[in-house]
Structure 1
Amino acid sequence: MRWTIKPKPKQEDIDTLANALNVDSLVAQLLLQRGISTFEKAKHFFRPQLSDLHDPFLMKDMDIAVNRIEEAIANGENILVYGDYDVDGTTAVALMSSYLLSYYPNVATYIPDRYDEGYGVSFKGIDFAEDNDFTLIVALDCGVKAIDKVAYAKEKGIDFIICDHHRPGTILPSAVAVLDPKREDCSYPYDELCGCGVGFKLIQALGSRRGETIDDVIYYLDLVATAIGADIVPITGENRILAFYGLQVINQQPRTGFKAIIDQINKKELTITDVVFIIAPRINAAGRMKHGQHAVNLLTETNMDEALKFASEIEKFNTDRRGLDQEITIEALGQIQENQEQEGFTSVVYKDTWHKGVIGIVASRLTETYYRPTLVFTKSGDKLAASARSVKGFDVYNALEGCADYIEQFGGHKYAAGLTLLEEQYNNFKHQFEKVVKETIDPQMLIPEITIDAVIELKDINPKLMRILKQFAPFGPGNMSPVFMAENLQDTGYAKGVGKDEAHLKLAVVQQGSHKIDGIGFNMGNKLSKVTGRKPFNAVFSIDENEWQGNVSLQLKLKDIQ
């Protein structure tokens, strides 16, 4: 790991902000590093307001989309709400369909089959719409690149409204409306919404035409917060407001489907991290192991007994997914070791029998292990399909563009993408991908980096600081949980490995002989020798609360030691 300490803002700026907010200089420093430099900005940060959400009609084509839906309702048309099979797609479909169904009955949902149809809008989905007399499809979290599919639908007299957040190509599909804040010609003030977030802006706009206010649609923000967390979009600006209030809904009045999941896990107050690691994998497991429609059924169910049935079914999908994901990860790691590919700039592995539903998770695990832009391929019909994951700072989507000659289709983001290609192109693609990455990556990016907000002393850590740090949440890209470094620490002599195979490191540290505090380092049991015998060491950590038998104490959540 390389440790990078963020530049410290000018002392005079720290002092000015600290005085304005009546906080200590450490808190002022953390805020300035997040671009919060005035009392006004701090107020928006610590007290997000729904009234600060942008007017949805600032988004290009929003008025056209609303008019077309209103026209469909006036004419009694059938509306098909279509979305991708991942968390962002299924939450968006649940949001849009349940909102429309609250005042109009002719609405149905469609999630493509991951294995039969693949990602995004499919010809099969459009045929389904034609066979069942749907004349309007609202596509969420997909569609911005579905030029041929939208044209096919048009020939059949089916209109499309697209709500997407992926980067569009040079040509847009011939849809009635394309809502995508990443469109070059869209001047919407915030372009980091997820697909479900774009869907929320559409229901906000529909609601405003019906005389509703933001308070009438707060109920849907639990879905938006889940999608924001799962899709790893920045938790800044509008996303911060949506996530903040969405978490309140999850914790205070969760929809029946969420309550069914939460009841199974027995946790009181969920953070965005819990949403990402507890709720999201379960929703995702439906599309990975069986079909994404199972997730939509759970998220739209209002009867608790039914929801509990759906939740236990999804729990089983998630357990099966875990087993497969471990199995395939072991095989993939074996392939890399065998080929000694960790010496290159990329990791690319393939086996025709790997389960397509978990290759994205496996790619993430390989990236954690070897810290290289990574692709995991499997057989999908008569083609190969892959999930790509990247390392911090490197745009894997751009790298795939440099290999476009060998790819059938691809889409995604800077850090995660998916693609398909013909089997005979696999080796050509693999060599080209290695070449493109080698030529464009800074070798430093291949060493995992820990970014440190501030160097502090143990005496700076107290309950008041913890109370303020908790108000920095919800955390995520653009607003990560603060990370600190402390120097010249010594273990008090009780350091030990704990947990299964003593995989974790537990210790109590002091600095200059005083200010003792406990610490835990998950999966850091192998670093025990670095801290024993009262050897001085430096540590990077976040500050955490440890609850044990009703007592709450502060502890260091270790990230690395040197």
Structure 2
Amino acid sequence: MEKNWVIKAQGEEGIVSALIRDLGIDRPLAHLLAQRGVNTYDDARSFFRPDLANLHDPFLMKDMDVAVDRILSAINSGEKVLVYGDYDVDGTSAVALIYSFFKDHFRTVDYYIPDRYEEGYGVSLKGIDFAAQEGFSLIIALDCGIKAVDKIEYARSKGVEFIICDHHNPGEAIPSAIAVLDPKQPGCPYPFKELSGCGVGLKLAQAFCMRMGLPEERVFCYLDLVVVSIASDIVPITGENRILAHFGLKKLNDDPSMGLKAIREVAGIECREIDIEDIVFKIGPRI
């Protein structure tokens, strides 16, 4: 099969020269860094030495404060909450993260993943009807919902409210959910736009921890799920995703969750170090 190589443009000479001077590196390496958007000393430090402390404040994301307020209200009122996600790797990873994180906070929390063939992609009427019939008053939708304008209106008519956590490009209209978390929506000042759906869910859990004064380890313990979503959904491993992927791989290798540990064993990769390629070709397809 013939390959079509796409070569990145050379970095700007001023940036390359500054990297050579500030980092004490050779020109070829400086060019490689500049091609990848590593333009300053601080950029290079973050690139080579990822640090969870450099993750962005989740409350920079539009509607994050509203989402956390609504979740706290649901907890205090004893509401039933349904965690809803798409059926692909990103969606199921996001559901696993948010369900696992919040199950200790809600009296009644459940999850719903739509049938790929009967319901298709995204928020489904069947899922909304299930929530209404079972008495769920709040749905946290993950990796879907940003274009579900009509379905969110239908849910409102059934007494079901939505918090949307998505990373896809929005349509012309934004759904009238209680909160819409999507760094790609208009007017969202969140600095990094390429999070996975599971990554947006992580930011919601991180914001909840910050509001409640909980240790961040309560959410960072799920980074193995996040790196699986990053690799499987083929989002750019740059910026914040690079930090999440670095520590997610460490978690996946050192202390994976029970489910991912079992998948490693089935895939025959439990006795060696796992990399991104293993996730793409051996773990993701099994999910």
TM over 0.5: yes
Counterpart contact for 1:161–1:175, Cα < 8 Å: yes
| Rg (Cα) greater in structure | 1
1:147 paired with 2:144, answer no
Residue in structure 1 matching 2:279, options 271, 275, 280: 275
- Match for residue 237 of structure 2? 235
Q: Closer, same or farther in 2 for the Cα pair 1:126/1:13, shift >3 Å?
A: closer
Residue in structure 1 matching 2:125, options 119, 123, 126: 123
Residue in structure 2 matching 1:258, options 257, 260, 263: 260
Q: Closer, same or farther in 2 for the Cα pair 1:55/1:14, shift >3 Å?
A: closer
Q: Distance in 2 between matches of 1:47 and 1:60?
A: 29
Q: Closer, same or farther in 2 for the Cα pair 1:68/1:23, shift >3 Å?
A: same
Counterpart contact for 1:99–1:203, Cα < 8 Å: yes
Q: Structure 2: any 5+ residue segments left out of the alignment?
A: none
CA drift at 1:272:
1.2
Q: Closer, same or farther in 2 for the Cα pair 1:38/1:109, shift >3 Å?
A: same
Q: Distance in 1 between matches of 2:227 and 2:279?
A: 8
- Match for residue 210 of structure 1? 212
- Match for residue 163 of structure 1? 165
1:29 paired with 2:40, answer no
Q: Closer, same or farther in 2 for the Cα pair 1:201/1:16, shift >3 Å?
A: closer
- Match for residue 112 of structure 1? 114
TM-score (norm 2): 0.93
Q: Distance in 1 between matches of 2:77 and 2:150?
A: 27
Q: Distance in 2 between matches of 1:213 and 1:57?
A: 17
CA drift at 1:66:
0.6
Q: Which moved more, 1:159-168 or 1:100-109?
A: 100-109
1:46 paired with 2:29, answer no
Counterpart contact for 1:192–1:234, Cα < 8 Å: yes
Task: Say which structure is richer in strand.
Answer: 1
CA drift at 1:8:
4.1
Q: Closer, same or farther in 2 for the Cα pair 1:145/1:16, shift >3 Å?
A: closer
Residue in structure 1 matching 2:78, options 59, 76, 79: 76
Q: How does 1:60-99 map to 2 (within 5 A)?
A: 60-99=62-101
Counterpart contact for 1:141–1:163, Cα < 8 Å: yes
Give the letter for the 1:56 counterpart: P
Counterpart contact for 1:83–1:142, Cα < 8 Å: yes
Q: Distance in 2 between matches of 1:122 and 1:5?
A: 41
Q: Closer, same or farther in 2 for the Cα pair 1:18/1:108, shift >3 Å?
A: same
Q: Distance in 2 between matches of 1:3 and 1:178?
A: 38
Q: Structure 1: any 5+ residue segments left out of the alignment?
A: 284-562
Counterpart contact for 2:15–2:40, Cα < 8 Å: no
Counterpart contact for 2:67–2:178, Cα < 8 Å: yes
CA drift at 1:23:
3.1
Q: Percent identity?
A: 57
Size of the aligned set, in residue pairs, is: 283
Counterpart contact for 2:253–2:273, Cα < 8 Å: yes
TM-align CA RMSD: 1.7
CA drift at 1:146:
1.1
Counterpart contact for 1:50–1:214, Cα < 8 Å: no
